[in-house]
Amino acid sequence: MSDDISLSEAERSAGIVRCDACPVLCRIRPGRAGACDRYANEDGALARVDPLVLLAKPDLARVAFVEGSEAWRGELGPKILGRGEGAFVTGIGATTTYPDYKPAPFIVSSKHDGIDMVTVVTEGIFSYCGVKVKIDTDRYLGPEQATVRVKGEAVGHVTTAEYGSQMLSLGGVHHLTGGSKKEGLITCNALLALCNREAVELSIDGGSTVVVQSDKPPIVNGVLEERMRVGCGSAAIGMFAPQWKDHVDEVIVVDDHITGVLSEHQGGAFLDMKPAGIRVRGRRSTPGRYFQVAEPGLGWGGTNVSDPLEIIEKIDPKLAWPGLKLLMVSTTGEHSAWFTLDNELKPQAAEMPVPVRHVVERIAENCEPALCTVLFMAGAGGSLRAGVTENPVRLTRSVRETLTKVTLGGAPAFVWPGGGITLMVDVARMPEKSFGYVPTPALVAPIEFTLRADDYAALGGYASRAVTLEDVLARHKVRVE
């Protein structure tokens, strides 16, 4: 970073510096920070605001404690640094060289199991980025393809539901730069908050309002979700059928996707259960499995049902009998009811027997805690690669051939097959406050490329710019995690 000759003489006299870390090209007055709050003017020089984050390796941290002092608090002492293996330098706080017409801010040499390694460290500016959000809930959030909004602005859409989870796709270049300025800024702010593990309230057209926060339970229409379903209604029958034997005559597991009916199910046939004659609404699939028994909603099993008897279409007097014992339960065990048939074959609520209650509780026990998962997804392409090598396509090929490992803030990234370096990472695995922004708008995220030193030289990397970990610690303010 350096002063730009386009500054006027008056600006230079006033101590103003120009930041060229992104296309905004802020002119920063003394003692002030730029628009992204990542760079500041300190005594007439451009400086990073945040320290460079290093991740201490747990095994070496233990060595430092044993060989050093009982008062060790995470410092990297000379015995560790001398090995060249004391810490992993992340891109957090590294700053950027966008648009990467010069080498990455840090090219760090190290050793791993005696092998010379290089880690190229930078903070990438990602206009082509977004998040995929997995929300563990059976609650109805909204129709597939429905627009997801923040403060009234479109920031993404509902995508295909998965097993026990609802999925959202948020951000992307069209929301960041393809709409109005307001849409782009709100999208950027929402993505930044989600990636930094903060709570964001989302509203879904034709559906619900949901508060999403990484690694925290979702809040749907003001209600905190507690558990993820154990499986669909049919799966629940398969798991717990033997435990219901001798205690029930029929079990109906209510589910928005696949409602299970025990006596018709293969699980009931295995137990030699006789038909109970209770027919539920919806479209019958294979025996004991029914689709579309109700509309999606916030009630039993992710349906709009508040009274489970609503899904019973008919009771066959040729098969059912007075005193028939019927359990109705949801896929999370959150809802359950016990009935017996009277002399007119009408279900009457009754107190649930203890053995049956135990199985309902076991359904709940087998449900995992409901959480939100936020996956940052971006394309590490364009000029970002030019900060690593003079021939950018070689970096892509090196990643494809698994010669180069890609991490974000030290967390391993999944690299999608196909062209380019399209990556995805769970933000919960990254250090806190790993992400920043630039007001273009775009997100700023740490990214590291680690490979053998000889492979780095072979792909045309800036090997002569490599520095040691000791050099980094001596010349820059750092924070160790």
Position 79 scores a pLDDT of 43
Number of domains making up the chain = 2
Position 58 scores a pLDDT of 59
Q: What is the mean pLDDT of residues 310-321?
A: 97
Least confident of 70-74, 122-126, 295-299, 429-433: 70-74
- Is 273 part of any domain? yes
- Is 378 part of any domain? no
Q: Is the pLDDT of residue 27 over 50?
A: yes
User: What's CA 244's distance to the chain center, in Å?
Assistant: 37
Position 61 scores a pLDDT of 42
Q: Is the pLDDT of residue 319 over 60?
A: yes
Position 66 scores a pLDDT of 40
pLDDT-based confidence at residue 328 (cuts at 50, 70, 90): very high
Residue 275 is given by DSSP the state: P
Tokens of 27: 């002119």
Least confident of 46-55, 79-88, 170-179: 79-88
Distance, CA of 273 to CA of 285 (rounded, Å): 20
Q: What is the pLDDT of residues 350-390, one digit of tens each?
A: 999 999 999 999 999 999 999 999 999 999 987 789 899 99
Position 398 scores a pLDDT of 95
Position 67 scores a pLDDT of 44
Position 60 scores a pLDDT of 46
Task: Report pTM.
Answer: 0.85
Q: Is the pLDDT of residue 80 over 60?
A: no
- Is 14 part of any domain? yes
Distance, CA of 346 to CA of 393 (rounded, Å): 72
Q: Is the pLDDT of residue 83 over 70?
A: no
Q: What is the mean pLDDT of residues 389-408?
A: 94
Distance, CA of 335 to CA of 439 (rounded, Å): 48
Pick from 98, 92, 3: which is nearest to 41 by CA?
A: 3
The answer to whether 446 and 408 are in contact (CB under 8 A) is: yes
Position 261 scores a pLDDT of 97
All residues at 6 or more sequence positions from 23 whose CB lies less than 8 Å from its CB, including other chains: 98, 99, 438, 440
Residue at a domain's end among 307, 336, 365: 365
Q: Is the pLDDT of residue 278 over 90?
A: yes
Q: Is the pLDDT of residue 23 over 50?
A: yes
Of residues 479 and 398, the one with the higher pLDDT is: 398
Residue at a domain's end among 365, 400, 418: 365
Position 105 scores a pLDDT of 87
| Strands 106-112 vs 467-468: parallel, antiparallel or unpaired | parallel
Q: Is the pLDDT of residue 199 over 80?
A: yes
- Is 275 part of any domain? yes
Question: Which domain, by its residues, includes 22?
Answer: 9-48
Q: What are phi and psi of 236, to 5 degrees?
A: -65, -40
Q: Is the pLDDT of residue 187 over 70?
A: yes
- Is 304 part of any domain? yes
- Is 208 part of any domain? no
Q: Give, in order, the Cα–Cα distances in Å from 227 to each of 3, 133, 360.
A: 55, 17, 14
Position 2 scores a pLDDT of 42
- Is 222 part of any domain? no
Distance, CA of 336 to CA of 298 (rounded, Å): 15
Q: What is the pLDDT of residues 154-173, one digit of tens each?
A: 999 999 999 889 999 999 99
Position 475 scores a pLDDT of 84
Per the listing, tokens 């936020």 go with 374
Position 42 scores a pLDDT of 86
Distance, CA of 390 to CA of 461 (rounded, Å): 6
Position 111 scores a pLDDT of 85
pLDDT-based confidence at residue 78 (cuts at 50, 70, 90): very low
Q: What are phi and psi of 390, to 5 degrees?
A: -70, -20
Position 243 scores a pLDDT of 95
- Is 158 part of any domain? no
Q: Is the pLDDT of residue 100 over 80?
A: no
Position 148 scores a pLDDT of 98
The answer to whether 315 and 277 are in contact (CB under 8 A) is: yes
Q: Is the pLDDT of residue 76 over 70?
A: no
> pLDDT above 90 covers what percent of the chain?
69
Within 137-235, strands assigned E span 147-150, 153-158, 165-171, 200-204, 209-212, 219-220, 223-224
Position 71 scores a pLDDT of 46
| Strands 372-379 vs 129-136: parallel, antiparallel or unpaired | antiparallel
